[in-house]
Amino acid sequence: MEKQSYIAWIRGLVGDAKIILNAACVVIPNDKGEILLQKRSDNLKWGLPGGLLELDEPIALGAVREVKEETDLDVKITGFIGVFINPLMTWRKTDKAEVICHSFVGEVTGGTLSIHDDESLAFGWFKKDNLPEIHSSDNRETIMAYFAGERNLVEGRSYR
């Protein structure tokens, strides 16, 4: 029997009530100054590879897992951008959460970029000046911090 995800389990208990969820995403740059984005199937907007963490999952490993699930790429985490809070993320119009997103920079170490699950419709490489509509505030803030060269941020503030 397949193990139920933490998100499915917690939603089974609380329904669509607003909850706090932890997430991780990875900015994957190429040598042309572009970053990899995925077009999401749930809202047809673009975002960084990443997703919600499972219970007891180390944050960086969750980021690597999510990238693999969504892109079929193997990545190595090379840096930490920061923590960004999305006060209201909504799925299915009624499933609400405050998302605490841990944002990393990663380097591709293997795999072949391909649609690997039903969450992705397409992938694209984008520079700062040609970004498509980004699906969430935490992803937008991560992308802007990355292009600004900012690192080690907690809720948008440096803690170096």
Instruction: Quote the pLDDT of residue 1.
Output: 46
DSSP 114-144: ---STTEEEEEEE-GGG---BS-HHHHHHHH
Instruction: Quote the pLDDT of residue 155.
Output: 64
Instruction: Quote the pLDDT of residue 134.
Output: 96
Strand (E) or helix (H) holding 100: strand 95-111
The mean predicted confidence, pLDDT, of the chain is 90
Instruction: Quote the pLDDT of residue 160.
Output: 42
Report if residue 6 sits inside a domain.
Answer: no
CA distance 18 to 99: 10
Helix, strand or coil, per DSSP, at residue 152: coil
Q: What is the pLDDT of residues 87-117, one digit of tens each?
A: 888 877 778 889 999 999 999 999 999 997 7
67: domain CATH number is 3.90.79.10
Structural domain including 50 reads 20-158
Report if residue 4 sits inside a domain.
Answer: no
Report if residue 10 sits inside a domain.
Answer: no
Report if residue 13 sits inside a domain.
Answer: no
Long-range contacts of 68-72 (CB under 8 A, 24+ apart): 68/111, 68/116, 69/116, 69/117, 69/119, 70/38, 70/116, 70/117, 70/119, 70/120, 71/36, 71/38, 71/111, 71/113, 71/114, 71/116, 71/120, 71/123, 72/111, 72/112, 72/113, 72/114, 72/116
Instruction: Quote the pLDDT of residue 33.
Output: 96
Instruction: Quote the pLDDT of residue 83.
Output: 95
Report if residue 89 sits inside a domain.
Answer: yes
Instruction: Quote the pLDDT of residue 156.
Output: 58
pLDDT per residue of the chain (160 residues) written in tens, 0 to 9: 467 788 888 888 998 889 999 999 999 999 999 999 999 988 899 999 999 999 999 999 999 999 999 999 999 999 999 999 998 888 777 788 899 999 999 999 999 999 977 889 999 999 999 999 999 999 999 999 999 998 887 665 554 4
Report if residue 1 sits inside a domain.
Answer: no
Local structure of residue 29 (DSSP, 8 states):
B
Report if residue 153 sits inside a domain.
Answer: yes
Instruction: Quote the pLDDT of residue 151.
Output: 86
Report if residue 11 sits inside a domain.
Answer: no
pTM of the model: 0.90
**Structure tokens given for 60:** 């960086």
Structural domain total, the chain: 1
Pairing of strands 19-27, 95-111: parallel
CB burial of 77-116 (b: ≥16 within 10 Å; e: otherwise) equals beeebbbbebeebeeeeeeebebbbbbbbbebeeeeeebb
